[in-house]
Amino acid sequence: MIADKMKGMVANSSAIRAMFEEGNRLASLYGAENVYDFSLGNPNVPAPEAVKKAIVELVEGEDPIALHGYTNSNSGYPEVRQAVADSLNERFGTSFGERNIIMTVGAAGGLNVIFKTLLNPGDEVIAFAPYFGEYRSYTNNYDGVLVEISPDTETFQPRLQEFEQKITPKTKAVIVNTPNNPTGVVYSEATIQKMAAIMEAKQKEYGTDIYLISDEPYRELVYDGAEVPYLTKYYDNTIVGYSYSKSLSLPGERIGYLVIPDEVTDSEEVQSAANVATRILGFVNAPTLQQKVVAKCLNEKTDISFYNRNREALYEGLKECGFTCIKPEGAFYLFVKSPIEDEKEFCAAAKKYNILMVPGSSFACPGYVRLAYCVAHETIVNSLPKFKELAKEYF
Residues 141-200 that bind a copy of itself (CB under 8 A): 141-142
Least distance (Å) between residue 72 CB and a copy of itself: 6
Which residues, listed in sequence order, are joined to residue 356 by a DSSP beta bridge?
A: 37
Least distance (Å) between residue 326 CB and a copy of itself: 26
What is the Cα Rg of the chain in Å?
21
Q: How far apart are CA 334 and CA 311, in angstroms?
A: 8
- Amino acid residing at 114: I
Nearer to a copy of itself, 185 or 292 (CB): 292
Candidate ranges 2-10, 92-100, 178-186, 320-328; the one touching a copy of itself (CB under 8 A): 2-10
Q: How far apart are CA 134 and CA 177, in angstroms?
A: 12
CA separation, residue 390 to residues 73, 300, 322, 338, 347 (Å): 54, 40, 10, 12, 10
Query: CB–CB of 101/81 below 8 Å?
Result: yes
Least distance (Å) between residue 96 CB and a copy of itself: 20
Least distance (Å) between residue 325 CB and a copy of itself: 25
Q: Is 206 in the site for a copy of itself (CB under 8 A)?
A: no
Query: CB–CB of 138/112 below 8 Å?
Result: yes
Nearer to a copy of itself, 16 or 348 (CB): 16
Least distance (Å) between residue 29 CB and a copy of itself: 18
Least distance (Å) between residue 174 CB and a copy of itself: 14
Nearer to a copy of itself, 89 or 272 (CB): 272
Q: How far apart are CA 227 and CA 179, in angstroms?
A: 10
Element (H, E) at 175: strand 171-176
Q: Is 356 in the site for a copy of itself (CB under 8 A)?
A: no
What is the number of helices (H) and of strands (E) in the chain? 13, 12
Nearer to a copy of itself, 35 or 186 (CB): 35
Q: How far apart are CA 288 and CA 297, in angstroms?
A: 15
Q: Is 28 in the site for a copy of itself (CB under 8 A)?
A: no
Query: CB–CB of 182/130 below 8 Å?
Result: yes
Task: Report the site for a copy of itself in 114-143 (rule: CB under 8 A).
Answer: 116-120, 134, 137-138, 141-142
Task: Report the site for a copy of itself in 254-313 (rule: CB under 8 A).
Answer: 254, 265-266, 269-270, 272-273, 275-277, 279-290
The site map against a copy of itself for 220-259 (x = CB under 8 A) is -----------------------------xxxxxx-----
Element (H, E) at 9: helix 4-30
Query: CB–CB of 241/114 below 8 Å?
Result: yes
Q: Is 65 in the site for a copy of itself (CB under 8 A)?
A: yes
Query: 34, 44, 94, 188: which one contacts a copy of itself (CB under 8 A)?
Result: 44
Candidate ranges 13-21, 150-158, 191-199, 379-387; the one touching a copy of itself (CB under 8 A): 13-21
Backbone angle region of 213, left / alpha / beta, with phi > 0 → left and psi within -120 to 50 → alpha: beta
Q: Is 25 in the site for a copy of itself (CB under 8 A)?
A: no
